Amino acid sequence: MTTPPLIWALSVAGVAIAGALSYTQFLAPRMADEAPSAAMAATEQKPPGPRMPSTLAVAADYRGHYIVHPSVDNYRIKMMVDTGASIVALTAADARALGVKNDASSRKIVLSTANGAVTGFRTVLREIRLGDIVVRNVDAVVLPERALSMSLLGNSFLSKLQGYEVQTGRMVLRG
């Protein structure tokens, strides 16, 4: 018995439609879940988006000062954020702990402070890390014994940030 051509054509079309439907419903989703090949991955990867700036909020102490404990060249130091200081200022003790020495190549600098003029020497700190904020190559000055009670985090650091603001008892730094 021979199959009429119309029934044969409809059968072939039905098998083709069933195959197409099963592919889109079952095989295509599985292929999307599989890892793309290295060549496809290289062409389809999106470039990383803009990095969101790191922020750090610091509460004022009872005197209204902002005290932080950054890592300076991998050594933790207690510092006061001083927006009025043009440069990071280190106490002699903190400079010794960091291994910063006053030698013949050190440049002397005279600073005008609230307590009068004081002579220190300049240095460059490789890195100051405060939370997720990292600033490299920061100008600093080392002041003599008893010129400062605490190191100051001044504008040579602050000016390299994206910004900072003070709002009702807290300072927000954006790196």
Residue boundaries of the structural domains of the chain: 5-44, 55-174
Q: Is 143 in contact with 156 (CB distance < 8 Å)? A: no
The pair of three-digit structure tokens given for residue 45, joined into one six-digit string: 């990867």
- Residue 172: predicted pLDDT: 96
- Residue 101: predicted pLDDT: 87
User: Mean pLDDT, 10 residues at a time, over the chain (175 residues)?
Assistant: 59 53 47 47 55 87 96 96 95 95 82 85 96 96 94 97 93 94
- Residue 13: predicted pLDDT: 52
- Residue 39: predicted pLDDT: 46
* Phi, psi torsion values for 102, nearest 5 degrees: -90, 100
Q: Give, as one character, the DSSP assignment of residue 149.
A: S
At the topology level, CATH places domain 55-174 in Cathepsin D, subunit A; domain 1 (2.40.70)
- Residues 6 or more apart whose CB falls under 8 angstroms from that of 165 comprise 171, 172
pTM over 0.85: no
- Residue 115: predicted pLDDT: 77
The closest of 111, 108, 107 to 87, measured between CA atoms, is 111
75 DSSP β-pair partners: 72
